[in-house]
Chains A and B, each alone.
Chain A
Amino acid sequence: MKKPRVCVVGAGVIGLSTAVRIQNELPNYDVTVLADRFSPDTTSDGSGGFWQPHLVGGDNQDMVIQWGRDTLNYLFYLATSPLANRLGAQMVSGYSFFSEPQCPEWRHLVLGYREVDSREIKLLFPRARFGMFYTTVMIHVKAYLSWLMSRFKHNNGNVIDARIDKLEDLVKEYDVIVNCTGLGARKLINDHDVTPIRGQVTRVKAPWVKLFMTYQGTHGHCENYILPGADAVVLGGTGQEGNWNTGVDDEDRKMILEGCVEMMPSLKEAEVVRHWTGLRPHRTSGVRLETERLAKGKLVVHNYGHGGAGVTLHWGCAGQVVREIRTAFTPNFSRL
């Protein structure tokens, strides 16, 4: 009996984690990852790797919470395991400030969530009108992708470096195609609901920073954040809808530094490691995670459009893809 063949298209955090979960949980399946970009050149690589549902579309908060919970549990496990150093997986605590009061659904998922009182806001960041303190997880995405890839290959996963023009090109060879192409889905399957939200960051050396700090204002997508990673502190950022520029913008660079220095003056002289820009694959109607049946019992499972919440949702979404395949897939030869 021929093993069912799965092709995961895309090798960012969504694609690789999906491929690994399929291997682990559907061991009868033959899994291939096909992509035209691999770590360290994917969008995921430059991200802060910070768990917090952010810039993800759609009204369906329930699924975001479910996937987010599964992912956070997994990340907590990694951060407290002997693998923590290799993955730069860290439990980390800190403040998120806002220009308006918030009541996020995910506050029950993180640890030790509390609202910050006005005295503390005045002391720390007077510009804000609201603040929260909590404990979450941050991961070094590049290291994580590298680890996922080595697990994938170790379990006999097949990797193809190629570009395809349409998903149909894969139907002949594969029984299940998992579409993890992010922004690429716009062209690949003509989903114009997918648009970029441009994010620029600066990584600096500032090892005295142990707490994160973020600020979101309502004026012009103002967002500044300081995320202390294992190898560098990530300073951000921007959230420019519809902006396709993958270069480093000097005005943005200045705005990021100034905003972060306002939050933490000691960052003023921090040594810059590098600037980076990525295009978050946002989808207005939210993450598309669903199965499309093709002829001859073949399937396409879509798993794209995670916006700024790729790392935050990846593991939970990958688990859902496995469930979709398990319930929907019927091998070509048997129908009884």
Chain B
Amino acid sequence: MKNDHQALYFRDQFEGTSGAGVIGLSSAVNVQLLIPGVDITIIADQFATETTSDGAAGHFGILSERTNADTKKLSRWTHDSFEWYHQLYMSEESNSAGVLRLFGYQLWSSKRPAPFHSKFDYTFRELSKKELQRLPGNHTYGWAQDSLMVECRRYLPWLLKKFKDKGGKIVRRRLNNINEIGESYDVIVNCTGLGSRTLFNDKMMVPIRGHTIRAKAPWIKHFYIGGNGDTYIYPGQDNVVLGGTRQRGEECLKKDQKYFDDIIDRCCTLVPSLKHADIEKLWVGLRPWRSTVRLEMEVISINDRRLPVVHNYGHGSDGVCLSWGCGVDAAHLVKEQLGQTGAQQTLSKL
């Protein structure tokens, strides 16, 4: 008998917003894993490689401290995501899934407490004086970190294929109002990032504009973070990501050359040979920031019909880091709503 439970996903619809692609796709695939046979559709106006997720580096390390975060949940999401990526890294598919192992340096002007992600990395330690002398700049403190990077340029198409192979459906459409699709589905999963500002009236969503540059520099094998965290260099599979900016509240997506020039300057101060790198792409995007990630159930009413909505948005710059773990939680919330009983399906390797 055909299972006529349907779930719907919004993907981010706010033009040019970054990061949402990974949340929506990860949630969708997790629902498929947890509820075999479920009928899922993703509705979005931008898919996978068209999203600006691919502007982000995807390094497993930027985990901003959240002021009123539930650290237990944050830990679980981070842990689950890292385990997932680690499995991919160890498999034959790592390069096609865009997962790569990366070692590198975070350079600071003064000592500071270890960041949240440090307990999830393969290794994390302070740099010795000898290392600091050898490394760029005159930094007096720093960390060596061995972790993973997930490049959305490959990861999102890879996830999308998994989704489609399991029967998932895609609808390309821009929604202006949640009422437009309220009738058709039993559960909605909202992964719209900044789009939730209008679609669900969430005033806590704040765009934080970022700029990155992709350049050809295959001689760079380490990542570097410097300039008090604002300057970074991540060597990816096809090119190196140079960044960045963190402009809170800015929404204009016009590519203003002065920001890119400044990024190049700062990166070249850290790694002088970058001045010879060929620039391939300039990118600007909006991190969908919220003081806490919103991952919870809400029941809304559309045309007198009760409609459960699983919210999964507001990941800021931590979309990649948290996506799989959040997807797992979102899938469980969906399953509850669909009233499934029986043995809980364990997550299996794809």
A residues whose Cβ falls under 8 Å from a Cβ of B: 76, 80-86, 88-94, 111-112, 120, 133, 135, 140, 206-211, 228, 230-231, 265-266, 268-269
Partner of A91, one of B222, B275, B277: B222
Partner of A80, one of B122, B131, B237, B272: B272
Mind listing 19 A-B residue pairs with CB under 8 Å?
A: A80-B135, A80-B272, A82-B273, A82-B276, A85-B217, A85-B219, A85-B273, A85-B276, A90-B221, A112-B127, A112-B131, A208-B237, A210-B100, A210-B235, A228-B221, A230-B219, A265-B92, A266-B91, A266-B94
Q: How far in angstroms is the closest Cβ of chain B from A19?
A: 25
Partner of A82, one of B101, B127, B272: B272
Q: Which residues of B contact A265 (CB under 8 A)?
A: 90-92, 94
Q: Which residues of A contact B134 (CB under 8 A)?
A: 76, 80, 111
Interface hits, B251-282 → A, CB 8 Å: 271-273, 275-277
Instruction: Give Cα A68 to B144, complex, Å.
Output: 24
Q: How far in angstroms is the closest Cβ of chain B from A227?
A: 10
Are A82 and B275 in touch, CB under 8 angstroms?
A: yes
Residue on B with the closest CB to A210?
A: B221
Are A86 and B276 in touch, CB under 8 angstroms?
A: yes
Instruction: Count chain B CB atoms within 10 A of each CB in A93, A208, A230 and give the residue with the most.
Output: A208
Partner of A111, one of B123, B130, B271: B130
Q: Which residues of A contact B35 (CB under 8 A)?
A: none
Q: Which residues of B contact A84 (CB under 8 A)?
A: 219, 271-273
Q: Which residues of A contact B338 (CB under 8 A)?
A: none
Q: Which residues of B contact A94 (CB under 8 A)?
A: 103
Partner of B93, one of A90, A231, A266: A266
Instruction: Give Cα A83 to B91, complex, Å.
Output: 36
Partner of B100, one of A83, A88, A208, A269: A208
A-B pairs with lowest CB-CB distance, top 10? A84-B273, A230-B219, A208-B95, A266-B94, A93-B103, A208-B237, A85-B276, A82-B272, A265-B92, A208-B100
Q: Is B238 an interface residue (CB 8 A)?
A: yes
Q: A81-B272, A135-B131 are in contact. List 9 more A-B contacts (CB 8 A).
A: A82-B275, A82-B276, A111-B131, A208-B95, A210-B100, A210-B101, A228-B221, A230-B218, A268-B92
Residue on B with the closest CB to A94?
A: B103
Residue on A with the closest CB to B272?
A: A82
Instruction: Give Cα A82 to B100, complex, Å.
Output: 26
Q: How far in angstroms is the closest Cβ of chain B from A144?
A: 12
Q: Which residues of B contact A112 (CB under 8 A)?
A: 127-128, 131, 144
Partner of B102, one of A133, A207, A210, A231: A210
Q: Which residues of A contact B101 (CB under 8 A)?
A: 210-211
Instruction: Give Cα A265 to B235, complex, Å.
Output: 21
Instruction: Give Cα A94 to B222, complex, Å.
Output: 11
Q: Which residues of A contact B62 (CB under 8 A)?
A: none
Residue on B with the closest CB to A266?
A: B94
Instruction: Give Cα A93 to B221, complex, Å.
Output: 8
Q: How far in angstroms is the closest Cβ of chain B from A7?
A: 34
Instruction: Give Cα A133 to B91, complex, Å.
Output: 22
Q: How far in angstroms is the closest Cβ of chain B from A123?
A: 8
Q: Is B220 an interface residue (CB 8 A)?
A: yes
Q: Which residues of B contact A93 (CB under 8 A)?
A: 103, 146, 221-222
Q: How far in angstroms is the closest Cβ of chain B from A52?
A: 15
Interface hits, B87-109 → A, CB 8 Å: 90-95, 100-103
Instruction: Give Cα A85 to B136, complex, Å.
Output: 16
B154-190 contact mask (Cβ, 8 Å, vs A): 1 or 0: 0000000000000000000000000000000000000
Residue on A with the closest CB to B92?
A: A265
Beyond A85-B273, A266-B95, whether A210 also contacts B136 by CB under 8 A is no
Instruction: Give Cα A207 to B127, complex, Å.
Output: 27
Q: How far in angstroms is the closest Cβ of chain B from A312?
A: 18
Instruction: Give Cα A154 to B300, complex, Å.
Output: 77
Q: Which residues of A contact B238 (CB under 8 A)?
A: 207
Are B218 and A207 in touch, CB under 8 angstroms?
A: yes
Q: How far in angstroms is the closest Cβ of chain A from B121?
A: 12
Residue on A with the closest CB to B135?
A: A80
Q: How far in angstroms is the closest Cβ of chain B from A111?
A: 5
Instruction: Give Cα A83 to B219, complex, Å.
Output: 11
Instruction: Give Cα A85 to B277, complex, Å.
Output: 8
Q: Which residues of B contact A140 (CB under 8 A)?
A: 219
Q: Which residues of B contact A86 (CB under 8 A)?
A: 276
Instruction: Give Cα A120 to B136, complex, Å.
Output: 29
Q: Which residues of A contact B235 (CB under 8 A)?
A: 210
Instruction: Give Cα A85 to B273, complex, Å.
Output: 6
Q: Which residues of B contact A85 (CB under 8 A)?
A: 217, 219, 273, 276-277
Instruction: Give Cα A269 to B217, complex, Å.
Output: 23
Residue on A with the closest CB to B235?
A: A210
